[in-house]
Structure 1
Amino acid sequence: MYQKLCFLILPFLFLQLSAQSFKVIPLGVKGGSDESNLSAYLVAPFNSSDFICLDAGTVHTGVEKAVKASLFKTSAERAIKNNIKGYCISHPHLDHLAGLIINSPDDTAKNIYGLPFCLDVIKDKYFTWKSWANFADQGDKPALNKYHYTYLKEGEEIALEQTQMRVKAFALSHSSPYQSTAFLIQSNDNYVLYLGDTGADETEKSDRLNFLWEAISPLIKTKKLKGIFIEVSFPNQQPAKQLFGHLTPALLMQEMENLARLTGKEAMRGFKVLITHIKPAGNHSAEIKRQLQQSNKLQLQLVYPQQAQLLKL
């Protein structure tokens, strides 16, 4: 009887464990105003503590809260130095970058990954001796050589050093002609997709999201993509002329419908869409959640990350 019970239970436990491919620690989730809680997400394979940081608006405060939540068994300073193995920066706006800059004096050597438009701004505007010390390996002299700029090529997958992951970058439109980036993270044939700030193709007069959906739709159909982190900054009442390259609930759902045309609606049912970058003004958060729920015809699994609360994907 015992052997039969084990025979039945063990495969179930294996499936439960194997279903968890990534762990994500949000260091910051908001879209502005609160400098202690700005866009930054630590991602690692589920069995690893070697993280990549996707954007870096808030770093130290988020790691401190993660330590208090027992997500790290060390100090915040040591976790930043030893567990964050590199940074993928979607675009050089301060709410996605400030934590990296501020914590650079006490950080350890690691890579900053990004498309050229993003890394060039960091090099030419932030890590300069006029605005901050140059902790990178290019730009103003003397270069302190702590950070190495790793220039990504759109659509080309490369290894994320000192981790078990790889990354592929896709350009996004963030209030045209300005750009942002989506990072497709891969580990053991499992994937997670993180989008920095982005407007909808309709409002941006762009096809960049459509290009991205075409690239990742096969991964949804085969259940290899475990979730999409995507912004919804404003409620539907926000005038189109004041979106500044961001999404509303209606625009997000329009884009999810575009994606569903490529995957089939059945593949989207229950698929995890993690909502990021909500602007904290007024009652935006509650209003955005209400509007998303009302328009969720695809029956997506909508998730709202919270700072220092572990996500399992």
Structure 2
Amino acid sequence: MSRKSTFEVIVLGPTGGPREDAVTGLLVRSKSTDWAPGSMVAVDAGTMLAGIIRLLKPYVSNSKNGRQGATLKEGPFRGLKLPARTAEANAAYIFREIIGAFLITHPHLDHVSGLAINTPIIEAGSGPKPVAALPSVLSAIKNHVFNDIIWPNLSDEDGGAGLLTYQRLVEGGNPRFGSGDSRGYVRACQGIVTKCLSVSHGRCKQRYHPESGTHHRASSTVFHSSESRRVPTRAISDHSEASFYSPVHSPRLGPSEPMVSTVESSAFFLRDHDSGDEIIIFGDVEPDTVSLEPRNRRVWETAAPKVASRALRAIFIECSYSDSVDDAYLYGHLCPRHLIAELMVLAEKVIDAREQAPEKKRKREAGTANTTPRPQFKRSHSSSGRKSRSGSTRPQHTEPLDAMGDLMSSDHFSPPNPTRWANSDPPLAGFSVYIIHIKETLKDGSYPGNIIVQELTDRAEALNLGCQFFLPSPTESISI
């Protein structure tokens, strides 16, 4: 029994630079909403209007589909009724009316530049557009982007123009909203609710007061590790045990000894309101094995029961570099060896979740008459991105530890044990991993994304993880 796709995801910006026209920006909608106003949420906005125009042009310009009032029959926006004739005018309509809110993972320029540049086209009569993020992220955007210096204050705070409104999210979810499996989730757009967990993204020595923007012990964009380090800004180096969930302030150092803290990023759980299906979209994230504030394990612990029940269907996560890049030059990003290590943590948590399922519930489900069979997970992809080979016949594994190689390198990182699933069903079978934020080299030769996916595939197959890796196509939407 095939499972219907729930989400449609358009990756406007699949790279992490250096090109400015394809940096991080994703559009997500529930297929049940049928392109209604406010039915799409943007996750990050490095690329926004330019990407929408680029995707509309082949299907709007010089085409029968391009007439005003026509419904697009092809392309990522198929099914959308066009209110205008040109790609530019229709893109403006999508930005103003269809996108209901922006979720921002962190305030780096490659994730917010489109938001700043595009916002002036919002019409004041339609009300302010919500920009939702963790408080520290919004503080950085408020103090350092929409501050009447870098860019006009277009928000509805501090006497601004009122085109944007800041929605400060509760880290880990707001327990006052929702119930049961949806507890903690808040509205993202029509048909989709969201919950945000914080993750770490490299190191930084800049610290600002969260409201005034002046230097202060409290920070708007960073966590503080339990110890300070005299290391270059955001460099990766040896580290010590750090508080896992609650950042603490570092002790004062002299002028020649800069504070080193951890940049805050986010992982957004997006949940279809009707079906309960979910996806996760990560901002930039570093591996727990090298982080001053390792926080990814908490995301995997939250995700694992959802993977085990088939509710969580895919993740979009960065893998910026190939394995040829040393840890010292990752600058708060992932490469295949580290992403596989993170997925091994998820795999072990999934096995734990399945083993902890109540025996009574299993017996009751097995004995219930006229029970509808559980649908088998099947992705519905419009993407023409490269698919991994992990869908092939599973190889037999006798020495899975040999395949771990250099995956684990931290004294405070508890490595998973792949022997638990070496000769059984792959723990992440049917799980899709979409790779974003690839750092382009702009050189002749193989595209870095192809190398990254191949390295991920080889490592995952050697460890019998079962997940599949995809590069989002820049010209198609993804049905999940």
Deviations 1:70-103 (A, max 9, x none): 4144311111111111100000001011111000
Which secondary structure does the structure 2 equivalent of 1:97 belong to? helix
The 8 Å contact of residues 25 and 66 in structure 1, kept in 2 or not, is answered as no
2-side partners of 1:215 and 1:290: how far apart?
28
Partner of 2:448: 284
Partner of 2:226: none
Q: What amino acid sits opposite 1:180 in the alignment?
A: S
TM-score, reference length from structure 1: 0.90
Deviations 1:154-180 (A, max 9, x none): 111343255111110100100031110
Which secondary structure does the structure 1 equivalent of 2:153 belong to? coil
Partner of 1:172: 199
Q: What amino acid sits opposite 2:102 in the alignment?
A: Y
Partner of 1:62: 51
1-side partners of 2:474 and 2:13: how far apart?
5
Q: What amino acid sits opposite 1:292 in the alignment?
A: L
Which secondary structure does the structure 1 equivalent of 2:460 belong to? coil
Partner of 1:5: none
2-side partners of 1:59 and 1:42: how far apart?
9
Deviations 1:194-237 (A, max 9, x none): 00000000011433100110011000000001101110001111
Which secondary structure does the structure 2 equivalent of 1:295 belong to? helix
Q: Cα–Cα, structure 1 residues 37 and 73, in superposed 2: closer, same or farther, change >3 Å?
A: farther
The 8 Å contact of residues 449 and 471 in structure 2, kept in 1 or not, is answered as no
Using the TM superposition, give the Cα deviation of residue 287 of structure 1 relative to its aligned residue in structure 2, in angstroms: 2.1
Within the alignment, does 1:272 sit opposite 2:455 as a pair? no
Partner of 2:282: 195
Q: How do 1:69-148 residues align onto structure 2 when only pairs under 5 Å count?
A: 69=59, 70=75, 71=77, 72-74=80-82, 75-108=90-123, 109-139=128-158, 142-148=159-165
Partner of 2:386: none
2-side partners of 1:286 and 1:162: how far apart?
33
- After TM superposition, the structure 1 stretch with the greater mean CA deviation from structure 2, 264-273 or 253-262, is 264-273
Partner of 1:46: 31
Between the two proteins, the alignment pairs up a number of residues equal to: 296
Partner of 1:32: 17
Q: Cα–Cα, structure 1 residues 292 and 190, in superposed 2: closer, same or farther, change >3 Å?
A: same
1-side partners of 2:129 and 2:186: how far apart?
13
Structure with the higher fraction of residues in helix conformation: 1
Identical columns (%): 29
Partner of 2:468: 301
Gaps of 5+ in 1: 1-11
The 8 Å contact of residues 41 and 189 in structure 2, kept in 1 or not, is answered as no
Using the TM superposition, give the Cα deviation of residue 299 of structure 1 relative to its aligned residue in structure 2, in angstroms: 2.5
**Alignment RMSD, CA only?**
1.5
Using the TM superposition, give the Cα deviation of residue 130 of structure 1 relative to its aligned residue in structure 2, in angstroms: 1.1
Which secondary structure does the structure 1 equivalent of 2:310 belong to? coil
Q: What amino acid sits opposite 2:145 in the alignment?
A: Y
Q: What amino acid sits opposite 1:201 in the alignment?
A: D
Within the alignment, does 1:183 sit opposite 2:202 as a pair? no
Which secondary structure does the structure 1 equivalent of 2:132 belong to? strand
Using the TM superposition, give the Cα deviation of residue 137 of structure 1 relative to its aligned residue in structure 2, in angstroms: 1.4
